[in-house]
Structure 1
Amino acid sequence: MVERMVPDIHIVFDCADPDRLARFWMVALPGYDFPHGPPDGFATWEEWADANEIPDQERNAGRTLVDKQGHRPDIFFLRVPEPKITKNRIHLDVKAGGAVPDAERRARIEAVGNQLVAAGGSIHRRVDDDEGFWLVMQDPEGNEFCVN
């Protein structure tokens, strides 16, 4: 019998500033962090890049975030030259509300929305209809996502 491989996924953002966007999503998705610190003997990645004569224009080409618990997919942020122009065809939902009474759920969603605004995101609109309440937001580069 041939064993069937089950594909895994990674989430990849094309962006202008991988470091800034990775740091925003670390706030949006608690538990995600950079996979490791700089190599032994270096206090920062910047110090390592200086020692290895990495040109400034190559230092922010990409960033990776991993779920420190190992349950969620890795997230990559890759620098691309072109700007985001149109609406996303796919987006992330940040599940903040939980299964609690409506007033508490709304308060949780608003609190997370406010935290993400402070981190550089913006609230595009609030949705409050028969399906429920959620926020449509944008990260610092305009990528849309929902907090629900």
Structure 2
Amino acid sequence: MATTFQVTFDAADPRALGDFWCEVLGYVRDAPPEGFATWEEALTAWGLPEERWNDKNALRDPDGAGPRIFIQKVPEPKTAKNRVHLDVNVGAGLRGEERVARLRAEADRVESLGATRVTEGSELGDFWIVMRDPEGNEFCLQ
């Protein structure tokens, strides 16, 4: 039996954080339930007050290869370093300066989406860039 999993983020603004990760990963928001054209239509039909419409968000890989990402609203802000983080592989198959240039270009792109560049690192021929998403969650470009 195959095991599946999803990655869950706590967030202050699940919709905005979901939009960020959709752009970074090429993901899409989960489709609304069958019988509803939009999530807003479904939430209205279920009687959920509009102020709660941004309590949750879910994203998926349109090709079905990557894990689902679930984002839930929490009242407290992020206060410490992540114990788990995503590695976003944008330099696969590249080496040397070509790899470094590709990762730096991607870091520029995700910064334009609201990320923050933290540091660059290299070891044993590998190179990576540590970033933070708009809510401060660390991730690496590799």
TM-score tier after normalising by the smaller chain length:
0.7 to 0.9
Letter matched to residue 52 of structure 2 = E
Q: State the partner residue of 1:55.
A: 49
Aligned alpha-carbon RMSD (Å)? 2.1
How far is the alpha carbon of 1:101 from its aligned partner?
Answer: 3.0
Q: In 2, are the aligned partners of 1:66 and 1:74 still within 8 Å (CA)? A: yes
Judge conservation of contact 2:32–2:42 (CA < 8 Å) in 1. Answer: no
TM-score by length of 1: 0.84
**Higher alpha-carbon Rg:** 1
Instruction: Name which of 63, 70, 75 aligns with 1:76.
Output: 70
Q: Aligned partners of 1:17 and 1:47: how far apart in 2?
A: 20
Question: Matched residues in 1 for 2:8 and 2:89: separation?
Answer: 19
Task: State the TM-score, normalized to the length of structure 2.
Answer: 0.87
Return the alpha-carbon distance in structure 1 between the equivalents of residues 35 and 120 of structure 2. Answer: 46
Measure, in 1, the Cα distance between the counterparts of 2:81 and 2:44: 38
- Structure 1: gaps (5+ residues): none
Mapping 1:1-148, distance limit 5 Å: 5-30=1-26, 32-36=27-31, 45-46=39-40, 49=43, 54-148=48-142
The 4+ residue runs of structure 1 with deviation greater than 6 A are: 38-41
Contact 1:35 1:64 in 2 (8 A): yes
Contact 1:39 1:48 in 2 (8 A): no
Q: Separation in 1 of the partners of 2:25 and 2:16? A: 14
Percent identical residues:
39
Q: Mind listing any 5+ residue stretches in structure 2 that lack a counterpart?
A: none
Once residues 37 and 124 of structure 1 are traced to their aligned partners in structure 2, the CA distance between those partners, rounded to angstroms, is 36
